[in-house]
A and B are shown apart, each in its own frame.
Chain A
Amino acid sequence: MNDNYAVDGETRVEIYRRMALLKANDERSRKVIKTGRLMMPYYSYRGQECIPAALAVNLTDRDYLCTIYRGIHDMLAKGLPLKELWAEIAGRIDGSCKGKGGPMHLTSPDKGIMVTTGIVGSSMPIANGLALAAQLSGDGRVAVATFGDGASNIGAFHEALNMASVWKLPAIFLCQNNQYGEHTTYEKATSALRIADRAIAYNMPGVRVDGNDPLAVHAVTLEAIERARNGGGPTLIEAMTFRFHGHIYGDDDAYMDPARKKAAMEADPVPIYRASLIAGGFATEESLSRIETEIEAALDEAVEYALASPMPGEEELTTDVYAEGAAA
């Protein structure tokens, strides 16, 4: 592979393993939804795999993540156990949130997966709080907020970036710019030519990166994470990407320019990166196939586990509202 990135072969393959996991998980999710065995609103992240896969190899379980409804890729990359994920999206008691949260509110604090929001824009202010906690305790953690391009038009984005900059919080604001917010194009809704440029207004570094290039994302996120850990404050990163399957499962894409979609799908980062690893001598066809087979087996197991897990009983309806249980 012809690149100047000082990334060792093991890390390169690990990034691929995570990308392959995310891709396979998305494909499996859509397949199972189609059979009717899973009833949930599903926001496919297919096409965006490279961003969290390359980010997450730079983080530890102790680092914090706040993500969004389109965030299963972020969480899987950061280590969300497959069984916890699948039981949750199936609404079962063995899910990460006992089936009460569902796909838009997956939470796994052991892996640093602290908040998943269904409200556009809300990941950023809360990530600030996690970053503040890290700053106050001096424990060296960082907090990453992921969000979409559309979310940068919400007041919460602007308030959060300003505060993070003033307080020099160890926060990374990672925008996955897939060029659409629901059915509205980036161009129609967003005044800034580049979201990264919005960082100027908040006096923090703002970087745009090709979200299809794992090594570029790896480098940019590593720099931001190191800056945050070393007291240098927050960074805004804009990773350019595309969602291959529309806003939500069942979306007919009628509002999309077919040429734009076709071009994006032809630039699918997963097979391209896979080929580059083999061409660069970092992996062989057999070694990557083995990884993919392992992923499929783990998915088989997780789906089966989830669908065999019981639904939460009615007593669960009123527990967890307060520490001591809910009023009638």
Chain B
Amino acid sequence: MNDAIVDTAINTHRITILQAINAALADALADDERVFVLGEDVGDAEGGGIVGVTAGLSKRFGDDRVRSTPISEQAIIGASIGAAIAGWKPVAEIMLMNFVTVAMDMIVNHAAKLRYMSGGKTSVPMVIRTMTGAGASTGGQHADYLEGWFAHTAGLKVVAPSTPEDAYGLLRSAIDDPDPVIFIENLISYGNKGPAPVSGHRVPLGKARVAVEGKDITIIAYSAMADRALQAAKILSQAGISAEIIDLRTISPWDQETVFASVAKTGRALVVHEAVKPFGPGAEVAATLSSEFFGRLKAPVERIGAPFTPVPFAKSLEDAFIPSPARIANAAQKLVEQGKL
């Protein structure tokens, strides 16, 4: 029933998401001399990243190819864009997702649009890695999920893995990709373990993964919420409900084929993300499904997201802010029961 369990039996070597991203960067640096990494504190003299994602890379590949920068997000992204246009493959780290705000001009007005505005004469094959996620008591300016902004910008691709294998394979594909990719890492689940990816493994951008097969309802999630959706599936199975969990993996462009096939089977869909609900990616998915499956759905497509507030500091409020497995399971159960009426 659970694909993941079968995989584990075959591949017993398990690593963390953090190690997988580190390995993907190392392999990309080794495979292609045009790849280089830049960001605040990414070098080993500075500890190899605030949580060690880039640890060991500057020692192995040199300070030129793995370079710590001043605290200058606009200049980090600008330099990445320029180098990318000139044929290099920069992988920039913007430490936390909230700090992309300081570089939004570079990302939205330039990285995303240069290919189009130049009639295809220039292109920006760069990756922006960034971390985020509520749950560490960091408050309003350190934990937002802002993927909706980027998914709403033509010219950008947006990726958010939830397992080590996907993190590795998606990052390799993002670095290969000829266009700018925003690569979102969940800060809270870096330590989550899973089967180790095979070196060189690629997960194509724009392809979702059916994490658990089911027949009563399709739950579509990504990043840390994919894990929470899996936990919800366990709660639901105890109530006799069989939920199919789809980890979207790429938010833009999203994999309509896989999601459509699932909803055609289950007739019910729930989209879950940690980003605030209004105007979030869930709205795009829900609207598309509602239109595609008009008249064939057993229940309305529902969305779960964080409430429309900044991320609160107090533990009591932060816990209430992040969608919980119980909340996901409840909503799914309601949809299934509603569809039976």
Q: Could you list which residues of chain A lie within 8 angstroms of chain B, going by C-beta atoms?
A: 39-41, 91-92, 97-105, 117-121, 150-151, 153-156, 181-184, 188-190, 254-255, 311-314, 316-318, 321, 326-328
Q: Once the chains bind, are B137 and A39 in contact (CB under 8 Å)?
A: yes
Closest residue of B by beta carbon distance from A183: B46
Indicate whether B312 reaches chain A with its CB closer than 8 angstroms.
yes
Q: Once the chains bind, are A326 and B102 in contact (CB under 8 Å)?
A: no
Interchain CA distance A310-B307 in the complex, whole Å:
22
Contacts of A154 in B (CB 8 A): 71-74, 102
Interchain CA distance A326-B261 in the complex, whole Å:
37
Q: Once the chains bind, are B47 and A327 in contact (CB under 8 Å)?
A: no
Indicate whether B136 reaches chain A with its CB closer than 8 angstroms.
yes
Closest residue of A by beta carbon distance from B321: A317
Known A-B contacts A101-B140, A255-B45, A326-B307; the reply to A184 vs B68 at CB < 8 A is: yes
Indicate whether B315 reaches chain A with its CB closer than 8 angstroms.
yes
**What are some 23 contacts across the A-B interface (CB < 8 A)?**
A39-B137, A41-B142, A91-B317, A102-B313, A102-B314, A103-B139, A119-B102, A121-B102, A154-B71, A155-B102, A156-B102, A181-B40, A184-B40, A184-B41, A184-B46, A184-B71, A254-B47, A311-B315, A312-B317, A314-B316, A326-B307, A327-B278, A328-B308
Q: Which of A153, A254, A312, A317 contacts B307 (CB 8 A)?
A: A317
Q: Once the chains bind, are A188 and B68 in contact (CB under 8 Å)?
A: yes
Q: Once the chains bind, are A39 and B315 in contact (CB under 8 Å)?
A: yes
Closest residue of B by beta carbon distance from A90: B314
Q: Once the chains bind, are B307 and A155 in contact (CB under 8 Å)?
A: no
Secondary structure at the A interface, as helix, strand, loop or mixed, is loop
Indicate whether B86 reaches chain A with its CB closer than 8 angstroms.
no
Q: Once the chains bind, are B68 and A105 in contact (CB under 8 Å)?
A: no
Contacts of A91 in B (CB 8 A): 137, 313-317
Q: Once the chains bind, are B308 and A321 in contact (CB under 8 Å)?
A: yes
Contacts of B140 in A (CB 8 A): 100-102, 104-105, 118
Nearest chain A CB to B284's CB is how many angstroms away?
19
Q: Which of A119, A151, A156, A314 contacts B141 (CB 8 A)?
A: A119
Contacts of A118 in B (CB 8 A): 98, 138-142
**Residue tally, chain B, CB below 8 Å to A:** 38
Q: Once the chains bind, are A255 and B142 in contact (CB under 8 Å)?
A: no
Contacts of A189 in B (CB 8 A): 68-71
Contacts of B4 in A (CB 8 A): none
Contacts of A100 in B (CB 8 A): 140, 312-314, 317
Interchain CA distance A154-B69 in the complex, whole Å:
12
Q: Once the chains bind, are A181 and B309 in contact (CB under 8 Å)?
A: no
Contacts of B138 in A (CB 8 A): 41, 102, 104, 118
Enumerate B28-76 residues with CB–CB distance to A below 8 Å: 40-41, 45-47, 50, 68-75
Indicate whether B178 reaches chain A with its CB closer than 8 angstroms.
no
Interchain CA distance A92-B71 in the complex, whole Å:
32
Interchain CA distance A133-B173 in the complex, whole Å:
51
Q: Once the chains bind, are B136 and A41 in contact (CB under 8 Å)?
A: yes
Contacts of A104 in B (CB 8 A): 138-142
Q: Once the chains bind, are A312 and B314 in contact (CB under 8 Å)?
A: yes
Indicate whether B320 reaches chain A with its CB closer than 8 angstroms.
yes
A-B CB proximity, top 7 nearest: A102-B313, A91-B314, A99-B314, A311-B316, A183-B46, A118-B141, A102-B139
Nearest chain A CB to B276's CB is how many angstroms away?
10
Nearest chain A CB to B321's CB is how many angstroms away?
7
Nearest chain B CB to A7's CB is how many angstroms away?
35
Indicate whether B260 reaches chain A with its CB closer than 8 angstroms.
no
Indicate whether B99 reaches chain A with its CB closer than 8 angstroms.
yes
Q: Once the chains bind, are B70 and A190 in contact (CB under 8 Å)?
A: yes
Known A-B contacts A91-B315, A318-B307; the reply to A155 vs B72 at CB < 8 A is: yes
Closest residue of A by beta carbon distance from B310: A321
Q: Once the chains bind, are A312 and B316 in contact (CB under 8 Å)?
A: yes
Closest residue of B by beta carbon distance from A316: B317
Interchain CA distance A328-B276 in the complex, whole Å:
10
Q: Once the chains bind, are A311 and B71 in contact (CB under 8 Å)?
A: no
Q: Once the chains bind, are A153 and B70 in contact (CB under 8 Å)?
A: yes
Nearest chain B CB to A189's CB is how many angstroms away?
4
Enumerate B257-297 residues with CB–CB distance to A below 8 Å: 278
Interchain CA distance A102-B318 in the complex, whole Å:
11
Interchain CA distance A232-B99 in the complex, whole Å:
34
Known A-B contacts A101-B140, A317-B309, A318-B307; the reply to A311 vs B314 at CB < 8 A is: yes
Indicate whether B101 reaches chain A with its CB closer than 8 angstroms.
yes
Q: Which of A99, A153, A188, A314 contacts B313 (CB 8 A)?
A: A99
Closest residue of B by beta carbon distance from A120: B71
User: Please, what's the 1-or-0 string for B97-115, where 1 marks a CB less than 8 Å from any CB in chain A?
Assistant: 0110110000000000000
Closest residue of B by beta carbon distance from A312: B314
Closest residue of A by beta carbon distance from B50: A182
Contacts of B139 in A (CB 8 A): 101-105, 118
Contacts of B309 in A (CB 8 A): 317-318, 321, 326
